[in-house]
A and B are shown apart, each in its own frame.
Chain A
Amino acid sequence: MPRSRILVVDDEEIMRSSLSDWLIEDGYDVLAVEDGFHALERVKQEEWDLAVVDLKMPKMDGLEVLKKMNKIKPKLPVIIITAYATIDSAVMAIKEGAADYIVKPFNPEEISIVIAKLVERQRLIKENIRLRRALAKRFKFQDLVGKSPEMLKVIEMIKTVAPTKSTVLIRGESGTGKELVARAIHELGPRKNFPFIAAACGAIPETLLEAELFGYEKGAFTGAVSQHKGRIEMADRGTLFLDEIGDISPKTQVDLLRFIQEREFQRIGGKTAIKVDVRIIAATHKNIEEMIAKGEFRDDLYYRLNVITIEIPSLRERKEDIPIFAEHFLEKFSLDTGKTVDNISDEVMKILIGYNWPGNVRQLENAIEHALVVSQEPEIKVQDLPQYLITQEDIRDEIKPTQSMSDMERRHIAHVLKAHGWNITKTAQVLGINRITLYKKIKKYNLKKDKDTGTRP
């Protein structure tokens, strides 16, 4: 175990040497500096486990050093030391965020306990961050992040279908990462050295979609000044990813069905059949069965596409993956922006886990990017989050002295229910009550589930 590092800040030489001698004997790595300016430089440049700062110093006093240190390294505990016990300065120091306050000369028993306690706490915090990082790395599969059973099932499916040529239909709400799954299938299969061509069917206007997919010959229509290869042709020997397949018109559905059956097609305005070897992966967030019932989607095309289905769970169905995603995006955007934001405060993490993410992973990604752009400090704080997360009801409600027990119980149950997507078993488990009791309380407090924003069947 590496030695913990302590930074001592005191203007008096005798105090500096006396304190650092003792700390060194006690097994710490110590550096003692004579003023706040030197101290802040060191805090910026190096990693410390604890700072011990004298209150009374010329130029910059201990409280100011403390405030500035908190800005630079919010997680670094700072002990304020002073020559006389005055309640005022103690209160001030604690209010400004000091981890503790001690009067010198110190009682040997007291100081050794105070320091050991803070250093140990710091070690645990660091260990926690390290573990979270390692976890985020470990649970990354082809850019797919997660360790929830739901996500592991998806990853298993990907591994199973990747070596085959079967058509795959990927289903999941918007923002769940359907294209990532399609890419993973491509990357892990025998076609990985050939193109992966994506067509966002929902984003391309109907009139253009046909030309985009099948290509056209020169003069096929006004504006067709030269021959143009379509995406299907470009994907030869590789994978064609048809995103938002539920958005295509009946006419294109017919063309696509014919192509899938015969594995050949003609460019628009062309006479010759072109044979290609492509693997098709389609994706949708829509309820296709419902569309078939309404006559909006061809069932024969659906059966052709739906050979193998992969369902990607929404983010709120796998909340345990939220911290892993958050760390993953934090690292990604830190690299992109060059900012050294390397931590997410516990409070922020709580909010992220509590939110129900209608926009799924993509929304979480945007939220982290937002926070990183806004953040002025090495740690993401609540105020850095997008407004809609900050103003979420209940979660950040403080306990008010006027609240009754039942009011608190109601809020707490509502909060836990929301945090677990109204999963009764899980909520009851967290609350430490049985499900019957939970149902009774839901009824008693007239708690209702929010309108689900998802569009899954």
Chain B
Amino acid sequence: MKYIYLKTIGTMETSIVEDLKRSLSLLIPFSLRCVYDNEYPLFAFEPERNQYYAKKIIVKLASEIPHDCEKLIAITDVDLCTPVLTFVYGEAQLGGKVAIVSMNRLEKEYYYLPPGNTTLLVDRLVKECIHELGHCYGLFHCHDSQCVMFFSNSIFTIDNKQKRFCMKCKEFFERQIGKEHNHAEK
């Protein structure tokens, strides 16, 4: 039995992670497992930009992946970036094992909502987790703005899209899972 790992990095509220886990388990055909790590990934810190390089964190996580892990999604509160993009909500290894999602900007643009209500934040996290997971199974961005694989370049595009794949992406996603598992059995 393999699990999708949800691994926290930095400071993440347990209740939010638990909500996220519950929501995700209803949407993806895998069991989930949470791992908590409160350390900050200082090795990936870029002082000039006051941000963290997503790729560096991914590379490190990929080197220490548990043996019963199907895919690993890291959740963090630090602000992520790449050498070419000013920020990213998340990043994944295309067709690989590891992805990372940051709630930094998902939360920042959330402050005007009633305190204590984390539904919207969890919704946004769910969408970005499924999106990055899609990349881990080899999916590209989708042109359907309602599809979870639509590229999110702003909080509006995230809020606008659904928590699921469009028909085309869903088919591709399921086929990819089948493929990877067949491959593993052989």
The winner among B81, B82, B153 for most chain A CB atoms within 10 A is B82
Q: Is A261 an interface residue (CB 8 A)?
A: no
Q: Contact flags (1/0) for B73-95 with A, using CB distance below 8 Å?
A: 00000000111111110001010
- Any A CB within 8 A of the CB of B141: yes
Evaluate contact between A18 and B55: CB separation under 8 angstroms. Answer: yes
Asked if A105 and B84 sit within 8 Å, CB to CB, the answer is yes
A27→B140 contact, CB < 8 A: yes
A105 in contact with B140 (CB, 8 Å): no
Does B151 interact with chain A (Cβ within 8 Å)? Answer: yes
Taking the closest CB of chain A, its distance from the CB of B176, in whole angstroms, is 15
Q: Are A18 and B140 in contact (CB under 8 A)?
A: no
Contacts of B31 in A (CB 8 A): none
Interface presence of A446 (CB below 8 A):
no
Q: List residues 87-124 of chain B with CB under 8 A from any CB of chain A.
A: 87-88, 92, 94
A15 near B86 with CB under 8 A, answer no
Number of interface residues of A (CB under 8 A): 19
**How many Å lie between the Cα of A448 and that of B84 in the bound state?**
61
The answer for the CA separation of A289 and B44 in the assembled complex, in Å, is 92
A393 contacts the other chain (CB 8 A): no
Given A25-B94, A25-B135, A108-B153, the answer on whether A15 and B84 have CB atoms closer than 8 Å is: yes
Q: How far is the CB of B50 from chain A (nearest CB, A)?
A: 13
Q: Min CB distance, A252 to chain B, in Å?
A: 72
A106 touches B83 (CB 8 A): no
- Cα–Cα, bound, A18→B83 (Å): 6
Instruction: From known contacts A15-B83, A106-B84, A111-B85, infer whether A21 and B151 are also in contact, taking CB-CB under 8 Å.
Output: no
- Given contacts A108-B153, A112-B153, A25 and B140 within 8 Å (CB-CB): yes
CB within 8 Å for A22 and B140 given contacts A108-B153, A112-B151: no
Is A107 close to B, CB under 8 A?
yes
Whether B94 contacts A105 by the Cβ 8 Å rule is no
Task: Tell me the complex Cα distance, A15–B87, Å.
Answer: 15
A 44-65 contacts with B by CB, 8 A:
none
Q: Chain A residues near B135: list those with CB within 8 A.
A: 25
Cα-based distance from A21 to B135 in the complex (angstroms): 11
- Check A105 against B86 for contact (C-beta < 8 Å): yes
Bound form: Cα–Cα A204–B49 in Å:
85
> Residue B160 at the A interface, CB < 8 A?
no
Instruction: Select one of A26, A105, A109, A112 contacting B83, CB under 8 A.
Output: A105
Q: Tell me if A104 is interfacial: C-beta within 8 Å of chain B.
A: yes
User: In the assembled complex, which residues on chain A have CB atoms less than 8 Å from the CB atom of B140?
Assistant: 24-27
Report B109 CB to chain A, min CB distance, Å: 14
Q: Is the interface of B mostly helix, strand, loop or mixed?
A: loop
Q: Is the interface of A mostly helix, strand, loop or mixed?
A: helix
Residues on A with beta carbons closer than 8 Å to the beta carbon of B38 = none
Which residues of the other chain, A, contact B153 by a CB distance below 8 angstroms? 107-109, 112-113
Q: Which residues of A contact B154 (CB under 8 A)?
A: 109
> Which chain A residue has the least Cβ–Cβ distance from B55?
A18
Structural contact, A22 and B84, CB atoms closer than 8 A = yes
Determine which of B84, B87, B92, B141 lies in contact with A104 in the assembled complex, contact meaning CB atoms within 8 Å: B84
A19 within 8 A of B: yes
Instruction: Report B54 CB to chain A, min CB distance, Å.
Output: 10
B84 contacts A19, CB within 8 Å? yes
Instruction: Kindly state whether residue A14 has any CB partner on chain B within 8 Å.
Output: yes
B156 nearest in chain A by CB position: A109
Partner of A24 from B49, B83, B94 at Cβ < 8 Å: B94
Interface string of A126-155 (1 = CB under 8 A from B): 000000000000000000000000000000
Contact across chains for A108 and B94 when beta carbons are under 8 A apart: no
A107 touching B55 by the CB < 8 A rule? no
Taking each of A19, A21, A25, which has the highest tally of chain B beta carbons within 10 Å of its own beta carbon?
A: A25
Bound CA span A413–B141, Å = 49
Nearest-CB distance from B61 to chain A (Å)? 16
Min CB distance, A34 to chain B, in Å?
A: 15
Say yes or no: A26-B151 contact (C-beta < 8 A), given A15-B83, A105-B81, A108-B87. yes
**A27 to B149 CA separation, bound complex (whole angstroms):** 11
**11 new A-B contacts at CB < 8 Å, known A25-B135, A25-B151, A107-B86:** A18-B84, A22-B82, A24-B140, A25-B94, A25-B141, A105-B49, A105-B81, A105-B84, A106-B84, A108-B151, A109-B154
26 interchain pairs, CB-CB under 8 A: A15-B83, A18-B82, A18-B85, A22-B82, A22-B84, A22-B85, A25-B140, A27-B141, A104-B83, A104-B84, A105-B49, A105-B82, A105-B84, A105-B85, A105-B86, A106-B84, A106-B85, A107-B85, A107-B86, A108-B86, A108-B87, A108-B88, A108-B151, A109-B154, A112-B151, A112-B153
Name B residues whose Cβ lies closer than 8 Å to a Cβ of A: 49, 55, 81-88, 92, 94, 135, 140-141, 151, 153-154
Residue ranges of A at the interface with B (Cβ–Cβ < 8 Å):
14-15, 18-19, 21-22, 24-27, 104-109, 111-113
> Which 4 pairs of residues, A with B, have the shortest CB-CB distance?
A109-B153, A18-B83, A27-B140, A108-B153
